[in-house]
């Protein structure tokens, strides 16, 4: 791991990073308000990746009821996050997925072996996997 920043705010947060996972420079993970960030084994994060469980500030309706609660993030095994990927609160990324550079993941992806790309991220290719080495 190279110059990674972890922000832990409030109590009862939990962060797990699986074995063999590599994380590039200037990556930032923010785990707040009693949430969990779970990162599986053998993941590969490029540089400037951002993972957040919340918005850091409250958005409320006119009666004062909070509209934006924080939520857990789960990145399963063997996931490659490209340069400047953002993973928002409440997201899940299934096993063996690739998330293309600059994508913003805004919801759950329960189907594995896919390439996700775009803003917001969507599945752009199915039935694929990735390798660390060039072949």
Query: Could you state, in order of their start, the residue ranges of all structural domains in the chain?
Result: 5-55+69-126
| pLDDT at residue 3, rounded to an integer | 80
Give burial (CB, 10 Å; 0-12/13-18/19+) of 13: buried
Per-residue pLDDT tens over the stretch 64-88: 999 999 999 999 999 999 999 999 9
Structure confidence at residue 2 (pLDDT): 57
Q: Which residues lie below 8 Å from residue 99, measured CB to CB, with a gap of 6+?
A: 79, 80, 81, 82, 85, 87, 93, 105, 115, 116, 117, 121
Q: Which CATH class is domain 5-55+69-126?
A: mainly beta
Contact 102, 121 (CB under 8 A): no
Task: Examine the pLDDT at 35 and tell me if it is beyond 90.
Answer: yes
What pTM value is reported for the model? 0.94
**pLDDT over 60 (residue 5):** yes
Give CA–CA dist 73/20, Å, rounded.
19
The number of beta carbons lying within 10 Å of the beta carbon of residue 97 is 27
């Amino acid at each position: 791991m190279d110059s990674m920043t972890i922000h832990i705010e409030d109590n009862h947060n939990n962060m797990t990073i699986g074995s063999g996972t590599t994380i590039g420079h200037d990556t930032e993970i923010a785990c707040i308000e009693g949430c969990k960030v779970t990162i599986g084994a053998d993941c590969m994060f490029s540089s400037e990746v951002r993972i957040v469980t919340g918005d850091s500030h409250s958005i409320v309706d006119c009666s004062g009821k909070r509209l934006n609660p924080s939520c857990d993030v789960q990145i399963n095994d063997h996931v490659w996050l490209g340069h400047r990927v953002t993973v928002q609160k409440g997201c899940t990324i299934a096993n063996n997925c690739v998330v293309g550079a600059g994508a913003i993941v805004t919801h759950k992806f329960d189907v594995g072996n896919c390439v996700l790309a775009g803003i917001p991220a969507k599945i752009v290719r199915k039935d694929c996997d990735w390798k660390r080495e060039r072949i």
